[in-house]
Structure 1
Protein backbone atom coordinates (compact mmCIF):
# COMPACT_ATOMS: atom_id res chain seq x y z
CA UNK A 1 0.00 0.00 0.00
CA UNK A 2 2.85 2.46 0.75
CA UNK A 3 1.52 5.87 1.69
CA UNK A 4 -2.18 6.66 1.87
CA UNK A 5 -2.31 10.14 3.42
CA UNK A 6 -0.14 12.92 4.88
CA UNK A 7 -0.37 12.07 8.59
CA UNK A 8 2.62 10.92 10.64
CA UNK A 9 1.42 7.31 10.69
CA UNK A 10 -0.23 7.23 7.26
CA UNK A 11 2.36 5.02 5.61
CA UNK A 12 3.49 1.42 5.95
CA UNK A 13 6.85 2.25 7.54
CA UNK A 14 5.40 4.43 10.31
CA UNK A 15 2.54 1.99 10.92
CA UNK A 16 5.09 -0.82 11.29
CA UNK A 17 7.10 1.37 13.69
CA UNK A 18 3.93 1.86 15.77
CA UNK A 19 3.46 -1.92 15.81
CA UNK A 20 7.04 -2.35 16.99
CA UNK A 21 6.37 0.12 19.80
CA UNK A 22 3.25 -1.80 20.82
CA UNK A 23 5.26 -5.01 21.04
CA UNK A 24 8.10 -3.45 23.05
CA UNK A 25 8.35 -3.38 26.80
CA UNK A 26 7.71 -0.09 28.58
CA UNK A 27 11.43 0.17 29.31
CA UNK A 28 12.35 -0.11 25.61
CA UNK A 29 9.99 2.56 24.25
CA UNK A 30 12.01 5.68 25.03
CA UNK A 31 15.22 4.23 23.58
CA UNK A 32 13.40 3.13 20.42
CA UNK A 33 12.03 6.62 19.85
CA UNK A 34 15.37 8.23 20.71
CA UNK A 35 17.24 5.92 18.31
CA UNK A 36 14.89 6.78 15.41
CA UNK A 37 15.18 10.52 16.05
CA UNK A 38 18.96 10.40 16.51
CA UNK A 39 19.49 8.44 13.31
CA UNK A 40 17.38 10.88 11.31
CA UNK A 41 18.86 14.00 12.86
CA UNK A 42 22.40 13.03 11.79
CA UNK A 43 23.41 15.57 9.12
CA UNK A 44 26.21 13.37 7.79
CA UNK A 45 24.01 11.00 5.81
CA UNK A 46 21.49 11.27 3.02
CA UNK A 47 18.13 10.62 4.70
CA UNK A 48 16.27 7.78 3.03
CA UNK A 49 12.48 7.71 3.02
CA UNK A 50 11.91 4.90 5.56
CA UNK A 51 14.11 6.68 8.13
CA UNK A 52 12.28 9.95 7.45
CA UNK A 53 8.87 8.30 7.83
CA UNK A 54 9.86 6.77 11.18
CA UNK A 55 11.30 10.13 12.29
CA UNK A 56 8.06 11.98 11.56
CA UNK A 57 6.11 9.35 13.50
CA UNK A 58 8.52 9.49 16.46
CA UNK A 59 8.43 13.30 16.46
CA UNK A 60 4.62 13.21 16.45
CA UNK A 61 4.75 11.07 19.60
CA UNK A 62 7.04 13.62 21.26
CA UNK A 63 4.74 16.46 20.17
CA UNK A 64 1.73 14.60 21.59
CA UNK A 65 3.27 14.86 25.07
CA UNK A 66 4.17 18.55 24.76
CA UNK A 67 1.83 20.90 26.69
CA UNK A 68 0.95 22.66 23.41
CA UNK A 69 0.87 19.47 21.37
CA UNK A 70 -1.99 17.53 19.90
CA UNK A 71 -2.51 13.79 20.25
CA UNK A 72 -0.91 11.67 17.56
CA UNK A 73 -4.27 10.06 16.92
CA UNK A 74 -4.33 7.67 14.07
CA UNK A 75 -5.71 4.26 13.43
CA UNK A 76 -2.18 3.27 12.48
CA UNK A 77 -0.26 4.79 15.42
CA UNK A 78 0.60 2.98 18.64
CA UNK A 79 -2.41 1.54 20.41
CA UNK A 80 -0.59 1.26 23.73
CA UNK A 81 0.15 4.21 26.01
CA UNK A 82 3.68 5.54 26.06
CA UNK A 83 5.58 6.46 29.20
CA UNK A 84 6.32 10.12 29.80
CA UNK A 85 9.11 10.98 27.37
CA UNK A 86 11.95 13.22 28.58
CA UNK A 87 11.80 16.85 27.48
CA UNK A 88 15.30 16.52 26.01
CA UNK A 89 13.78 14.52 23.13
CA UNK A 90 12.05 17.68 21.92
CA UNK A 91 15.19 19.25 20.46
CA UNK A 92 16.24 15.92 18.99
CA UNK A 93 12.82 15.73 17.32
CA UNK A 94 13.28 19.27 15.97
CA UNK A 95 16.61 18.22 14.46
CA UNK A 96 15.04 15.14 12.91
CA UNK A 97 12.15 17.13 11.43
CA UNK A 98 14.60 19.67 10.02
CA UNK A 99 16.46 16.84 8.31
CA UNK A 100 13.22 15.37 6.94
CA UNK A 101 12.60 18.57 4.96
CA UNK A 102 16.29 19.15 4.13
CA UNK A 103 17.58 19.04 0.56
CA UNK A 104 19.47 15.83 1.41
CA UNK A 105 16.27 13.95 2.16
CA UNK A 106 14.73 11.50 -0.27
CA UNK A 107 11.21 12.03 1.08
CA UNK A 108 11.29 15.73 0.13
CA UNK A 109 11.80 14.71 -3.48
CA UNK A 110 8.90 12.25 -3.31
CA UNK A 111 6.48 14.68 -1.66
CA UNK A 112 7.67 17.45 -3.97
CA UNK A 113 6.20 15.50 -6.86
CA UNK A 114 2.89 14.78 -5.09
CA UNK A 115 -0.16 17.01 -5.41
CA UNK A 116 -0.63 17.07 -1.64
CA UNK A 117 3.08 17.71 -1.01
CA UNK A 118 2.48 21.26 0.28
CA UNK A 119 -0.04 19.93 2.84
CA UNK A 120 2.49 17.28 3.95
CA UNK A 121 5.15 19.97 4.43
CA UNK A 122 2.69 22.11 6.43
CA UNK A 123 2.08 19.14 8.72
CA UNK A 124 5.82 18.80 9.33
CA UNK A 125 6.04 22.54 10.04
CA UNK A 126 3.15 22.33 12.53
CA UNK A 127 4.88 19.52 14.42
CA UNK A 128 8.16 21.44 14.50
CA UNK A 129 6.51 24.69 15.58
CA UNK A 130 5.05 23.02 18.67
CA UNK A 131 8.51 21.93 19.76
CA UNK A 132 10.39 25.08 18.72
CA UNK A 133 7.95 27.93 18.08
CA UNK A 134 9.12 30.47 15.53
CA UNK A 135 10.40 33.72 16.98
CA UNK A 136 8.01 36.54 16.11
CA UNK A 137 9.54 39.40 14.15
CA UNK A 138 10.76 42.23 16.33
CA UNK A 139 9.36 45.68 15.75
CA UNK A 140 11.81 48.49 15.39
CA UNK A 141 12.19 50.63 18.44
CA UNK A 142 10.25 53.88 18.29
CA UNK A 143 12.76 55.62 20.50
CA UNK A 144 16.48 55.21 20.76
CA UNK A 145 18.06 55.12 24.14
Structure 2
Protein backbone atom coordinates (compact mmCIF):
# COMPACT_ATOMS: atom_id res chain seq x y z
CA UNK A 1 0.00 0.00 0.00
CA UNK A 2 1.44 3.37 -0.99
CA UNK A 3 0.89 5.84 1.84
CA UNK A 4 1.93 9.47 1.71
CA UNK A 5 0.33 10.96 4.82
CA UNK A 6 -1.83 10.07 7.84
CA UNK A 7 -5.25 11.16 6.55
CA UNK A 8 -8.05 8.70 5.81
CA UNK A 9 -7.59 9.10 2.04
CA UNK A 10 -3.81 9.54 2.01
CA UNK A 11 -3.01 6.12 0.59
CA UNK A 12 -3.53 4.23 -2.66
CA UNK A 13 -6.24 1.91 -1.36
CA UNK A 14 -8.45 4.70 -0.01
CA UNK A 15 -7.89 6.85 -3.09
CA UNK A 16 -9.01 3.92 -5.26
CA UNK A 17 -11.96 3.30 -2.94
CA UNK A 18 -13.08 6.91 -3.45
CA UNK A 19 -13.65 6.08 -7.13
CA UNK A 20 -15.88 3.18 -6.09
CA UNK A 21 -17.89 5.59 -3.95
CA UNK A 22 -18.10 8.09 -6.81
CA UNK A 23 -19.31 5.42 -9.23
CA UNK A 24 -22.20 4.43 -6.94
CA UNK A 25 -25.55 6.11 -7.47
CA UNK A 26 -26.38 8.75 -4.87
CA UNK A 27 -28.83 6.47 -3.07
CA UNK A 28 -26.28 3.61 -3.08
CA UNK A 29 -23.35 5.50 -1.51
CA UNK A 30 -24.44 4.68 2.05
CA UNK A 31 -24.53 1.02 1.03
CA UNK A 32 -20.93 1.16 -0.19
CA UNK A 33 -19.86 2.50 3.22
CA UNK A 34 -21.99 -0.09 5.00
CA UNK A 35 -20.23 -2.90 3.13
CA UNK A 36 -16.84 -1.46 4.11
CA UNK A 37 -17.86 -1.44 7.78
CA UNK A 38 -19.28 -4.96 7.64
CA UNK A 39 -16.17 -6.34 5.94
CA UNK A 40 -14.23 -5.23 9.01
CA UNK A 41 -16.70 -5.97 11.78
CA UNK A 42 -17.98 -9.30 10.53
CA UNK A 43 -14.65 -11.03 9.98
CA UNK A 44 -14.71 -12.17 13.59
CA UNK A 45 -11.41 -12.95 15.22
CA UNK A 46 -9.54 -13.28 11.95
CA UNK A 47 -6.53 -11.09 11.33
CA UNK A 48 -7.81 -7.85 9.80
CA UNK A 49 -6.19 -7.15 6.43
CA UNK A 50 -5.01 -3.57 5.94
CA UNK A 51 -6.94 -3.31 2.65
CA UNK A 52 -10.27 -3.74 4.45
CA UNK A 53 -9.21 -1.55 7.36
CA UNK A 54 -8.22 1.35 5.10
CA UNK A 55 -11.61 1.30 3.36
CA UNK A 56 -13.37 1.31 6.74
CA UNK A 57 -11.31 4.27 7.97
CA UNK A 58 -12.08 6.22 4.80
CA UNK A 59 -15.77 5.38 5.15
CA UNK A 60 -15.76 6.44 8.81
CA UNK A 61 -14.24 9.78 7.80
CA UNK A 62 -17.11 10.36 5.36
CA UNK A 63 -19.70 9.55 8.02
CA UNK A 64 -17.93 11.71 10.62
CA UNK A 65 -17.81 14.61 8.16
CA UNK A 66 -21.59 14.80 8.41
CA UNK A 67 -21.64 14.75 12.22
CA UNK A 68 -21.53 17.81 14.49
CA UNK A 69 -17.85 18.65 14.95
CA UNK A 70 -16.80 16.52 12.01
CA UNK A 71 -14.22 17.76 9.56
CA UNK A 72 -15.09 17.82 5.86
CA UNK A 73 -13.14 15.49 3.59
CA UNK A 74 -11.40 17.99 1.33
CA UNK A 75 -8.46 16.00 0.03
CA UNK A 76 -8.08 15.62 -3.72
CA UNK A 77 -7.90 11.84 -3.14
CA UNK A 78 -11.37 11.56 -1.63
CA UNK A 79 -14.66 11.24 -3.48
CA UNK A 80 -15.32 13.93 -6.06
CA UNK A 81 -19.10 13.46 -6.04
CA UNK A 82 -21.16 14.89 -3.19
CA UNK A 83 -22.08 12.43 -0.48
CA UNK A 84 -25.81 12.71 0.24
CA UNK A 85 -26.97 12.81 3.86
CA UNK A 86 -26.03 9.51 5.43
CA UNK A 87 -28.25 7.62 7.87
CA UNK A 88 -27.38 7.99 11.55
CA UNK A 89 -27.42 4.19 11.74
CA UNK A 90 -23.98 4.18 10.09
CA UNK A 91 -22.39 5.92 13.07
CA UNK A 92 -22.26 2.92 15.47
CA UNK A 93 -21.11 0.70 12.62
CA UNK A 94 -18.30 3.14 11.86
CA UNK A 95 -17.30 3.17 15.55
CA UNK A 96 -17.26 -0.63 15.67
CA UNK A 97 -15.12 -0.72 12.53
CA UNK A 98 -12.65 1.81 13.96
CA UNK A 99 -12.45 -0.19 17.18
CA UNK A 100 -11.57 -3.27 15.11
CA UNK A 101 -8.96 -1.28 13.14
CA UNK A 102 -7.36 -0.28 16.44
CA UNK A 103 -7.54 -3.83 17.80
CA UNK A 104 -4.68 -6.21 18.35
CA UNK A 105 -5.32 -8.29 15.21
CA UNK A 106 -5.17 -5.35 12.79
CA UNK A 107 -2.54 -5.28 10.08
CA UNK A 108 -3.08 -1.55 9.53
CA UNK A 109 -2.39 -0.81 13.17
CA UNK A 110 0.72 -2.99 13.07
CA UNK A 111 2.00 -1.16 10.00
CA UNK A 112 1.49 2.22 11.62
CA UNK A 113 3.09 1.08 14.88
CA UNK A 114 6.19 0.08 12.92
CA UNK A 115 6.56 3.67 11.79
CA UNK A 116 5.67 5.45 15.05
CA UNK A 117 2.08 6.10 13.99
CA UNK A 118 0.88 7.93 17.09
CA UNK A 119 -0.36 10.86 15.02
CA UNK A 120 -2.29 8.47 12.74
CA UNK A 121 -3.80 6.73 15.78
CA UNK A 122 -4.77 10.09 17.28
CA UNK A 123 -6.59 10.92 14.05
CA UNK A 124 -8.54 7.67 14.23
CA UNK A 125 -9.46 8.41 17.84
CA UNK A 126 -10.66 11.90 16.81
CA UNK A 127 -12.90 10.33 14.17
CA UNK A 128 -14.24 7.95 16.77
CA UNK A 129 -14.94 10.80 19.20
CA UNK A 130 -16.92 12.72 16.57
CA UNK A 131 -18.91 9.60 15.69
CA UNK A 132 -19.83 8.95 19.32
CA UNK A 133 -20.61 12.58 20.18
CA UNK A 134 -24.21 13.57 20.64
CA UNK A 135 -23.40 17.04 19.31
CA UNK A 136 -24.98 18.69 22.32
Q: TM-score range by the shorter chain?
A: over 0.9
Quote the residue 1:74 is aligned against: 75
- Structure 2's unaligned 5+ residue stretches are none
Cα displacement string for residues 34-82 of structure 1 (whole angstroms, at most 9, x for unaligned residues): 0101111226132100000000000000000112211022110001101
CA RMSD of superposed structures (Å): 1.2
SS in 2 for 1:91: helix
Tell me the TM-score normalised to structure 1 length: 0.87
Name the residue aligned to 2:88: 87
Aligned residue in 2 for 1:23 = 23
| Aligned residue number for residue 36 of structure 1 | 36
Q: Report Cα offsets for 1:112-132 as digits up to 9, x if no partner.
A: 0113x0000000000000111
Match of 2:113 in 1: 112
Quote the residue 2:12 is aligned against. 12
Give TM-score scaled by structure 2 length: 0.92
In the aligned structure 2, how far is the partner of 1:87 from the partner of 1:52? 21
The residue number in structure 2 matching 1:62 is 63
